[in-house]
Chain A
Amino acid sequence: MTSDALPEDEAPGKSHRRLGAGRSTPTPRDGRHRAATAERPPVSPPPAAAGRTLSLRTPAFWMVLVLVGVGAWRIGLIFADATRLYPRASAVAFVLFALYAVPFILVVREVDYLEREPVVLLATALAWGGLVATAMANVGNTAAVEILAKEFSPDFAARWGPALVGPTVEETLKSLGVVVIVLLARRHVNSVVDGFVYGALVGLGFQVVEDFIYSINGVVLAGDGDSITPVVATFLVRGFLGGLWSHTLFTALVGAGVGYAVVREERPLRIRVGVAVLAYLGAWTLHFVWNSPLLGDGFGIGVAGLIGALLLKGIPGFVAVLVMLHVARRHEAGYYLGRLNGIEPILVAPEEMDALVTARGRTAARKQAAAQAGLRADHAVRKLQRAQSRLAVEISRCGHASYYEAARNPNPRSAALERCVRDILSARAKLVSLGVPVAARYGREQRSPLGLWSVLLAALGLVVPGLSVVALLLVGIGTLRARRQRLSPDNRLGVATSIGVLATALWVVVYLLHGFNGG
C-alpha cells in the first residue's frame, strides 16, 4: 500500500503516529500497525547503567584473547610467506580484498543504524571471523577432506568434499563467533538485528581473509611467478560471482538465530534453541548448495547456463535472508521509534518519524533537504536523524515507554537524554536557518510505468546481456522525473536498480573472465 492510497487524514504527516504503544509490537509506519502476539517486545535494550563493554573478569574474554592470538599467528605466517614469495600479487590481493570489505561494512553499519553496537565488539566479531575461524578452518578443512579421501576416494573427496566439509567446519567455527560475542557482552545483543550484524561481521572477516588465501593459492597453482592475473581472476569470481551470497550472508543468518535465542527470553528454551539450530541449518544448507557440484555444468548450455546456475544457487537464499532481515528491522524500528510517540514535534516531527524507519527514508529526507538548501542541509539532517535515533534508544534504556516518562523520572541516563535533546535542537535550529524546518522525505510516491518496465528489463538482463543497462537507464529517467515532481521515486525503481546492477556486474565479470581464459 502506498501513501497516496491512504485517506487524506491518514496520510503521512497528517496525523501523529502511536508507535510501540501498549504491549503490541507495531510496525512503525502509519496505518500499517500490526498487533503482536508476544508478551515481551522483540528487543531488550541494555540497562541504564551499562558499564564497560568488555570485562576482564569473564573467562570468555581470556579465551577470545588466546584464540585470536593463535589465529593471528597462523594467518600472519600465511601472509608472511605469501608476501615473501609473491610480493606484488600479495599486495594487490590485500588491497583488492580490503577495499572489497568497505561496502559490506557500510551496509552492515546502515543495518545497525538505530542502536549502534560498540566498535570493540564489532572488531572482535571481524577478528574472530578473519583470524580464528579462518586459521582453524584451514586446518580442519584439510584434515576432513583428507579423511573423506581415505574413507571413500579422492574422486568423492574432490567432488563432495567442499560441499560437505566446508559448511560443517566453517559454519560451526563462524557460529561460535556470534556465541562468543554473547559470552563477552550479552547485554549488547538486544535484538535479532544485533545478532545479524555480529554474524555478518564474523562472516565478512572470514570471507575477506579466505579470499586472500585463495588468491595466493591461485598464484601458486598458476606456476607463473609473481603474477597478478590469478589474483584478479579470484577477485572477480569470488568477489562478484559468489560474493553476495557467501560467508557474510551465511553467518548473518546464524547470528540472527542466536540473537533470537538470546533476546526472546519469554519463549521456552527449546523454541529459542530450535530457532538458533534452524538458522544454523539454514546457513549450512545455503553453503552446501553453493559448494555442491550440482548444476556445475550450467545446464550444459554454456556461459548463460553457468550464470543461471550461479543465480539459482545464490539468489533464493539471498532473498530469504533479506526478507528475514527486513522483518527483524521493522520490529526493531517499531520498538525503538515507538518510544518517541507523543513527543514534541520540534524534537521529532511525525513526518520525520516516518523517514527514520528505513535507510531509504532517511536518505530520501537528506536528499530532499539537499535539494532545497544544499549540502549543509543534508549534513544537518544527518545529525538530526542520528540524534533522534539516539534519543529513542536512550528512552528505551531508561525502561520507560515515552520521552516524558523518562524525563520526569531521574535516572542514570538523564544526562545522555539531555545531550540527545540538545543535539536535536541544535540540528533543528540549523535546519530552520536553512529554510528546511522538517526533515521529511518526498511527499507522495511516484507510480510510473517506468517502474514496471525497468524491473522486467533488469530481470531479463540476468540472462540477456545489455538489457540490464537499459533498465538502469530507465531507472535514472524515472528518478529524475520523480525529483522534478517532488515525489518519492517509484519503489520498483529501487528493485530494478538492485537487479540491474547485479546483472551488469555479472556480465562484466563473465566477459572479463572470458578474456582471461583466452577468449
Chain B
Amino acid sequence: MRYILAGHHRLRVKVGIAVLRPNLYASLAVLAVVGAIAIGLPAINNALPSGRSVAAGDRLTVGRGVAVSAPPSAVLDVTKTQPALNRLVMSVRSVRVVVEAVRYDGSLPGLSDKLRRKIQSNPGYQASQHDHPTRTDAGVPGLQGSYSTPGRIGTYAVFTHDGVGVEVSMAGAGTDVRRDNDALLDLVRSVRFGAA
C-alpha cells in the first residue's frame, strides 16, 4: 500500500512538473526579453564610445541659430548633445562644457540670475557673488562669472540677442581649467547668433 501511495505521489509530482514546465520556460523567456532591454541595451551602449573628436575651429551648431567654435582637444559628447533641446555638450580634457540656447526676451542680468540659480540647485555647487561683463567676437555683450563644485572649478557666461539667450557653463579639474583657460575663453567669445 505504501508503495502504491509513493507511486501516486511521484506521479503527481511528475504531472505537476509537466504542467509547470511550459510556464517556467515562458517566464524565463519574458525575463530574458526584459533583461535584454534593461541590461543588454545599456551594456551595448556602454561598450560604444560616446565621444567624437572635433577639429579645433570647427563650427558646432547648438540650436536656435546659435553656433560656437570648437577649441583644441575638444570631444563632442554625442549622447548628451541634444539638438531637440538646443544643447551642446563637449569635453576639453577633464573640463565639461555645456552650451544651451533658450528662448529669452528678458534682460541679461535676469538670464545670468537664472543660470546661477540652475547651477546652485545642484548639491554642493556654489556660484560667485558677482559676474562681470564680457563680449563675443561679434560684439554681443554678455556676463561672465565663476562657480565651484566639489573638486572642480568652473566658469559660466550668458549672452542674449534677438529673443535668444545663450547659457555657457564649463567645469573641470583646476589644473585643466587653468591650462586651457585661454582656449575656453575663446570658446565663450566664439558664440555666434543667427548662424545658418
A residues engaging B (CB < 8 A)? 57-60, 63, 67, 85, 132, 135-137, 139-140, 142-144, 146-147, 149-151, 153-155, 157-159, 169, 172-173, 176, 179-180, 183, 221, 223, 225
Q: What are 7 A-B contacts defined by CB distance under 8 Å?
A: A63-B27, A136-B34, A146-B79, A149-B81, A157-B78, A159-B83, A172-B33
Is B107 located at the chain interface by the 8 A CB criterion?
no
- Contact (Cβ within 8 A) B27 A140: no
Indicate which residue in B34, B44, B81, B121 contacts A147 across the interface (CB closer than 8 Å). Answer: B44
- Contact (Cβ within 8 A) B78 A154: yes
Q: How far is the CA of A70 from the CA of B44 in the complex (A)?
A: 22
Is B26 located at the chain interface by the 8 A CB criterion?
yes
B residues engaging A (CB < 8 A)? 16, 20, 23-24, 26-28, 30-31, 33-34, 37-38, 41-42, 44-45, 48-50, 78-79, 81-85, 114, 117-118, 121
- Chain A residues contacting B42 (CB-CB under 8 Å) are 139-140, 142-143
A-B contact count (CB 8 A): 95
Interface residues of B, dominant DSSP: helix
- Contact (Cβ within 8 A) B33 A149: no
Indicate which residue in A58, A172, A183, A223 contacts B37 across the interface (CB closer than 8 Å). Answer: A172
Q: How far is the CA of A144 from the CA of B40 in the complex (A)?
A: 10
| Chain A residue at minimum C-beta to C-beta distance from B114 | A223
Q: How far is the CA of A158 from the CA of B82 in the complex (A)?
A: 6
Q: A147-B45, A223-B114 are in contact. Are A155 and B83 (CB under 8 A)?
A: yes
- Chain B residues contacting A139 (CB-CB under 8 Å) are 37-38, 41-42
- Chain B residues contacting A221 (CB-CB under 8 Å) are 85
Interface residues of A, dominant DSSP: helix
| Besides the known contacts A136-B34, A154-B79, 17 further A-B residue pairs in the complex with CB atoms under 8 A apart | A59-B27, A59-B28, A60-B30, A67-B34, A136-B38, A142-B42, A144-B41, A149-B78, A150-B45, A150-B48, A154-B83, A158-B83, A158-B84, A176-B30, A176-B34, A179-B26, A183-B30
State how many angstroms separate the Cβ of B124 from the closest Cβ of chain A.
15
| Chain B residue at minimum C-beta to C-beta distance from A149 | B78
- Chain A residues contacting B16 (CB-CB under 8 Å) are 57
- Contact (Cβ within 8 A) A60 B23: yes
- Contact (Cβ within 8 A) A146 B34: no
Q: How far is the CA of A170 from the CA of B17 in the complex (A)?
A: 33
State how many angstroms separate the Cβ of B98 from the closest Cβ of chain A.
13
Q: How far is the CA of A147 from the CA of B49 in the complex (A)?
A: 9
